A and B are shown apart, each in its own frame.
Chain A
Amino acid sequence: SQQGEEDPQALSIQEGENATMNCSYKTSINNLQWYRQNSGRGLVHLILIRSNEREKHSGRLRVTLDTSKKSSSLLITASRAADTASYFCATDVMGYGNKLVFGAGTILRVKS
């Protein structure tokens, strides 16, 4: 079964609004990463947060991690039409080598 599960499955917002996506996972992790995918092709790495970190920022992105709840959130502030994409969380599971376990993703649509 999938380790990470994102919600919502789809999100539609207006340009300039903030978008929040959540990810839950089941087992202990080394780190959690967020990726973006445009048009069903290659993934772009956005940000990595380690299990001993609680919050991380990168530009308009803010990621939080709550290991007690086994959950993470990705916040995109001041969204742009170009942010329209699918967003996936992926966990580097302890004892699972270096394989990433992906969730099913959140489809974000930013309307201009």
Chain B
Amino acid sequence: GAGVSQSPSNKVTEKGKDVELRCDPISGHTALYWYRQSLGQGLEFLIYFQGNSAPDKSGLPSDRFSAERTGGSVSTLTIQRTQQEDSAVYLCASSLMGQQETQYFGPGTRLLVL
């Protein structure tokens, strides 16, 4: 596609439920990143995928958070047993191998945990 896409745009869930957020990176981009942005804050790194290498999960805040990337393309971020503090905008970005500095961001998924 022309850009990074994410779905859903908005998600409202109840505390304790699991949610899945999806990211479709730009075709041909081998690097994919997930960030979280709480209200009025900067972006917080969560996880990074690069090709077939093991992902860098150093930013995941707890073991309730996990992500996978299938076939080197689409990625899913899963939050289990959601908590109210998980409410944020979750942003995905991708970049092209060899030009990894410029990251192209999707529109984000706004998650609200009630």
Give CA–CA (A47, B50) in the complex, Å. 23
- Are A40 and B89 in contact (CB-based, < 8 A)? yes
Q: Is the interface of A mostly helix, strand, loop or mixed?
A: strand
The answer, yes or no, to whether A52 is at the interface (CB within 8 Å) is: no
Chain B residues with CB under 8 Å of A98's CB are 31, 33, 48, 50, 95, 100-101
Give CA–CA (A47, B8) in the complex, Å. 29
- Are A31 and B101 in contact (CB-based, < 8 A)? yes
Tally of B interface residues using CB under 8 Å: 30
- Are A42 and B95 in contact (CB-based, < 8 A)? no
Give CA–CA (A101, B48) in the complex, Å. 13
- Are A42 and B91 in contact (CB-based, < 8 A)? yes
Chain A residues with CB under 8 Å of B104's CB are 45
Instruction: Give B4 Cβ to nearest chain A Cβ, in Å.
Output: 8
- Are B91 and A43 in contact (CB-based, < 8 A)? yes
